[in-house]
Amino acid sequence: MVLLGVNIDHVATLRNARGGQEPDIVQAALCAERHGADGITIHLREDRRHIKDADVRQIQSVIQTRLNLEMAATPEMIEIAREVKPYMVTLVPERREELTTEGGLDVVRLKDSLTRSVSALTEAGIKVSLFVDPSIEQLNACKAVGAPVVELHTGEYANAAIINPENAKPSLEQLFVAARYCQEIGLELNAGHGLTYENVGPVVALPGLIELNIGHNIVANAIFMGLGPAVAKMKALLA
Ligand code: PXP
């Protein structure tokens, strides 16, 4: 069964809108776990627009599942990760002006610096995943820099699927080709970004897929049905 990593960044977005403690991010993590999350994913951005440093430490200390910390490969973030020691770090590209992570990492171009980042995190006992577009060239570079895991960026598929499922077929096929290539060269496979109750079905069938990281759609639906049922509904779709 494909594992569900629930990204709770936007619980923090809502909390930060008023600057107080509501909704409580730690309670959100525990609630997601009770309703079937196999892991909690949070993105500590350079501008701290949602998750704050204290959230990372508190969530890591209370959850029973696994923490996946998304972050840019900067010296500041690597130092925080080495201290907090989440189960996994997913390295993502980050631009201050973007609304969300817009594309995958250019591992080909950043090979030398990413080799150093991956090794600094691996030395601290942290599993490293690289968030990349479904490209053979990028997957080869992921293998070369020593990352054991990749997370395939499903954003292009998700955007195409909004128009209609037929429109999403070429991007879905690219994800399948990339997933098969991961199996061939021995990369563990996660995927995520832009996934919803409506479009997640075909992605669950990716060969060798271990985990999906899903956030915005679950938190958005939680407004209407509550966080627990919103997590449980996604979990059921992954089954
Ligand atoms: N995976 C990565 C690497 C991301 O940056 C994000 C967004 O923070 C997600 C998954 C989850 O995307 P969404 O919120 O669209 O489900």
* Domain with 27 in it: 3-238
Cut 0.85: pTM above it? yes
Please state, as a whole number, how many other Cβ atoms lie within 10 Å of the Cβ of residue 137.
11
Q: What percent of the chain has pLDDT over 90?
A: 93
- Which one of 41, 90, 94, 133 would you pick to mutate in the ligand 1 pocket, going by the greatest count of ligand atoms within 8 A of its CB? 41
Instruction: State how far the Cα of 165 lies from the Cα of 162, in Å rounded to an integer.
Output: 8
pLDDT score for 95:
75
pLDDT tens profile 107-136:
999 999 999 999 999 999 999 999 999 999
Q: Which residues are annotated as catalytic? A: 43, 70, 193
Q: What is the 3-state secondary structure (H, E, C) of 142-169?
A: HHHCCCCEEEEECHHHHHHHHHCHHHHH
Provide the CATH number for the domain around residue 131. Answer: 3.20.20.70
pLDDT exceeds 80 at position 234:
yes
Give residue-wise pLDDT tens across range 63-114.
999 999 999 999 999 999 999 999 999 999 987 666 766 789 999 999 999 9
219 CA: nearest ligand 1 atom: 14
How confident is the model at residue 164, as a pLDDT? 82
Q: pLDDT tens digit string along 166-194?
A: 889 999 999 999 999 999 999 999 999 99
* Domains identified in the chain, total number: 1
